[in-house]
Amino acid sequence: EAGVTQSPTHLIKTRGQQATLRCSPISGHTSVYWYQQALGLGLQFLLWYDEGEERNRGNFPPRFSGRQFPNYSSELNVNALELEDSALYLCASSLVTSGLYNEQFFGPGTRLTVL
């Protein structure tokens, strides 16, 4: 069974540009989560999509947005890039979203560098 995949592996942008990151969940998983892992800050929750809807978002500005497609894959868009957006962006998927069990399976991440 294929795991969570993310593309691209690395992305280099300049300040003010837009970045688009993509994630394909494990087959059958309906929930997709996005996290930002900046150096020294641990994982910060960004967005949660389930069944095509945004269910929750973390404490990030509106220039961080995304969507989930009918096949449950997801896209994270970051507009007006700033230097501090440089980080590893991790996508995770899960099957159960009842609140009792929420084991998440992570992709390898996209390393975004903003120059």
Which spans of this chain sit near another protein (rule: CB under 8 A)?
Answer: 4, 33, 35, 37, 40-43, 45, 48, 55-56, 88, 90, 92, 97, 99-109, 111
Cα(93)–Cα(4) distance, integer angstroms: 7
The minimum distance between CB 86 and another protein, in angstroms, equals 13
Cα(26)–Cα(17) distance, integer angstroms: 30
Nearer to another protein, 16 or 90 (CB): 90
Nearer to another protein, 18 or 66 (CB): 66
Helix, strand counts (H, E) of the chain: 0, 11
Cα(95)–Cα(106) distance, integer angstroms: 12
CB 8 within 8 A of CB 110: yes
The minimum distance between CB 5 and another protein, in angstroms, equals 10
The minimum distance between CB 29 and another protein, in angstroms, equals 13
